[in-house]
Structure 1
Amino acid sequence: MLTQPILFSPISLGSIELSNRILMAPLTRARADKHHIPGPLMVQHYADRATAGLIITEATMVMKNCSAFINEPGIYSEAQVAGWKEVTKAVHQKGGKIVVQLWHGGRACHPDLNNGIQPVAPSPIAIEDEVHTPNGLKPYTTPRELPLDEIPEIIAGFKQAAINAKEAGFDGVELHAANGYLLDTFLRDGTNQREDQYGGSLENRSRLIFEVLDAICEVWGNDKVGIRTSPLNGFNSMKDSDPVGTTFWLAEKLSHYQLAYWHLMRSDFMGEQQGDVNTIAREHYQGNLIGNMGYSYEEADSAVLDKQLDAVAFGVPFIANPDLVARFQTDSELNEPNPDTFYTPGPEGYNDYPLLDQKDLVSA
């Protein structure tokens, strides 16, 4: 155990009061039903992890026909809102806090997942990979360029989802602008080759993100809104010619928003792009900075103690350890996750990881 466990100290992210700085990162687990409705499995899963300072839900569809997985949740229908109400109620009954991550899959949306509808993106450039569909593994399709007259519909979809999130009882929302989905593809120049007001300069490429952010903040107030970005991550065939410069731009621009937090992914899943985006963000962003990607407990605590970060979001460790906070507190061994069950239906590998015995907690 570390002698100064600052991760267990409380923090205010905007107006969201947290009991600790150990956040649960968004983790797509594909356990909603075929109508993208959260059910009892998801209620238990999130409630079991309520000791996290803040739960950030998995990527959640803001509108119809923007699915990039099988059975990920949405928040655009009454039934979906009702399902999420059960989740938030269960988390709150255990003293937890939870925000929903609002998301549009963009070019990662395959027609087989979306009633035959071609996906949209800033430019007609396909992901160089395959995707699991109800009809088997298929290559990603080339998206159509999102026309200017359809952009207001996208913004309105995010805004309505934010309204629905309030109805569902969430404590706030996180805007998903990372990992090669719609908003991220507008931001990075490897996927945005437009020549209109949404392409070219960083100001233009970030325009849609900030128009969506403005719409969401109208609903929630800036102090209950966070944003997640991944300037280095090559997942979904993403590249940017200047990820550090993009981070600097976002840091300056986001500072004016006084958001609850900025959730920054520090590295590249694919191991190709390198750069120190955390330092740039810390130096130029005036607000709460959440670190993410591959942090151990010790590294996370040191980063917060040294004021490099304000909190850290843990992903995979929360999959196998619903009581991750208690395990960190007691210096207990962590359960090992089973990747074979990350996206499979049912409770196996989702709600069946063992908790610490009470005797272990007492003796620690």
Structure 2
Amino acid sequence: MATLFNSIKVGAYDLDHRVVLAPMTRLRTLQPNDIPSPMMADFYGQRASEGGLVIVEAASISAHARSYLGAASFYHDGQHAGWQAITDAVHAKGGRVFLQLIHGGRQSHVEVTGGADPVAPSVVPFDGVALTKDGFVPVSPHRALGIEEIPGIVEDFRAAAARAKKAGFDGVELHAANGYLVDQFIQDGTNRRTDAYGGPIENRARFLREAVEALISVFGADRVGVRISPSGEWGSISDSDPEATFSHVAKVLNDYGIAYLHVIEPRVKGDDTLHAGHPAVAAAYLRPHFTRPIIAAGGFDRDSAMAIVEAGHADLVAFGRHFSSNPDLPYRLQHDLPLTPYVRAAFWGGTEQHYSDFPAYDASPASAPAGADAALDETESA
């Protein structure tokens, strides 16, 4: 029986354990120009472990792809050194590091896109927010992509992957979840197109396929992962038959031979738990359709993470919120040690405080960091 602490081969890499750092948008880049900051290198280096997998927060593939001021991106040469520092920090600890790549689509604002209207497969009005210099504000009205524009976005994914490879990343993960552009194409609540990219799921998955193929052209299939969120609610996303839609997506991705499928369980929305106590269901129904490693994420604690791996529904488990405040989370989980409470107020931007200043486990008595959640909610994980 597999356990959370057994070794496993994921794509091209042999991992020593199955506790993964989930990608989290933390808004700590240096402005202007989204330069990865030294504290980001500290943060990721601290959370790396021998034979462990770190998935770095979503990096926008172009200026037009941005959604949040201060979030990561990788589309110009000035960002290279900052990203190289991050990969060096993870590799120094013996870890593997993938960079998640994203296009925000309609979840954006003209102040962060360089003045261009946000884009989507179709115009479907929704209530969403983007982060600008004025804080979180309603998104700008979006427009439907012309079919002639799509190859340029696919090329942006390829170019960002090439930059990631040059900066030392071991692979890349396509962000096809949480209501961003790839997800907007997949789900019929946001995709009302009648051309080759709309209608039946075979067409709605076309953009996903083209983006995956672009990443594979740079890294090879065994160094590419994909993240999806069946029944996710972030970004007002929806589908009339999510189980059928994402079962098809899993089959498509399985045929490519990618390194892993990363599945967000529907009980969470971004950094919030929607349905405490809801069982993990998405990975279970996708398991028959994807024969390679599945990473499950969303609302896991130690016991439920161990259970889903032992049941065979997932092979690895990604943690966000608990990993944010426990840099040595794999060690703590393996030895059933207490977890430091996370600090929700520091999730979306800030300084090193409650970000890269959390200590590793110390057996001596110590108080939780000031401002930490008063009680650890074991149902929560990003």
Fold conserved (TM > 0.5)? yes
Q: Distance in 1 between matches of 2:289 and 2:221?
A: 19
Amino acid at match of 1:91: V
Partner letter of residue 328 of structure 1? Answer: L
2:307 counterpart residue number: 302
Q: Please show how residues 239-254 of structure 1 align to structure 2 within 5 Å.
A: 239-254=238-253
Could you tell me the percent identity over the aligned residues?
39
Equivalent residue runs for 1:137-216 within 5 Å: 137-216=136-215
Residue type of the alignment partner of 2:85: E
Once the two structures are superposed, the pairs formed by residues 256-335 of structure 1 within 5 Å of their partners are: 256-269=255-268, 271=274, 276-335=281-340
Contact 2:267 2:299 in 1 (8 A): no
SS in 1 for 2:155: helix
Do 1:263 and 1:291's aligned partners in 2 also have CA atoms closer than 8 Å?
yes
Partner in structure 2 of residue 33 of structure 1: 30
Between the aligned partners of 2:70 and 2:152, the Cα distance in structure 1 is 24
Q: Tell whether 2:48 aligns with 1:50.
A: yes
Q: How many residues align?
A: 357
Asked whether the equivalents of residues 268 and 299 of structure 2 are also in contact (C-alpha less than 8 Å), the reply is no
Aligned to 2:369: none
Gaps of at least 5 residues in structure 1 are: none
Residues 108 and 140 in structure 1, CA contact (< 8 A), matched pair in contact too: yes
> Is contact 1:5–1:301 with CA below 8 Å preserved after alignment?
no
Letter in 2 for 1:305: E
Aligned residue for 1:12?
A: 9
Q: Is the 8 A contact 1:128 1:237 kept in 2?
A: yes
Report deviation, 1:358: 6.5
TM-score by length of 2: 0.89
**Structure 1 residues 51-70: aligned runs within 5 Å:** 51=49, 53-70=52-69
Amino acid at match of 2:200: S
Indicate if the aligned counterparts of 1:226 and 1:259 stay in contact, CA closer than 8 A: yes
Q: Encode CA deviations 1:4-55: one digit per residue, 9 max, x unaligned.
A: 8821111111112211100011011000112111121101000000127200
- Give runs of aligned pairs for residues 105-124 of structure 1, distance below 5 A: 105-124=104-123
User: Could you tell me how far apart the structure 2 residues matched to 1:131 and 1:223 are?
Assistant: 34
* C-alpha contact 2:108 2:130 (8 A) present in aligned 1: no
SS of structure 1 residue aligned to 2:111: helix
- Contact 1:267 1:274 (C-alpha < 8 Å) held by counterparts: no
Amino acid at match of 1:39: S
Q: Residue 375 of structure 2 aligns with which residue? A: none
TM-score (norm 1): 0.94
SS in 1 for 2:89: helix
Find the aligned partners of 2:279 and 2:312 in 1 and give their Cα distance. 22
Secondary structure at the counterpart of residue 59 of structure 2: strand
Q: Assess, with a 3 A threshold, how the Cα gap between structure 1 residues 18 and 203 changes in structure 2: closer, same or farther.
A: same
Contact conserved, 1:178 with 1:229, CA < 8 A, in 2? yes
The superposition leaves residues 47-76 of structure 1 with CA deviations (integer Å, 9 ceiling, x where unpaired) of 000127200011101112221112111111
CA RMSD of aligned residues (A): 1.9
Q: Once structures 1 and 2 are overlaid, which stretch shifts more, 130-139 or 32-41?
A: 130-139
Check conservation: 1:102, 1:173, Cα contact below 8 A.
yes
Aligned match of 1:226:
225
Supply the distance in 1 between the matched residues of 2:240 and 2:199 (Cα, whole angstroms).
12
Give structure 2 stretches of 5+ with no counterpart: 366-382
On the 8 A contact 2:161/2:172 being kept in 1, the answer is yes
SS at 2:72's partner residue? coil
1:358 to 1:171, Cα distance in 2 relative to 1, 3 A: farther
Distance in 1, Cα, partners of 2:329 & 2:25: 18
**Higher mean C-alpha deviation, range 59-68 or range 193-202:** 59-68
Label 1:88 to 1:136 Cα distance change in 2 as closer, same or farther (>3 A).
closer
| Offset, 1:269 | 3.1
Aligned partner of 2:20 in structure 1 is 23
Between the aligned partners of 1:352 and 1:113, the Cα distance in structure 2 is 29
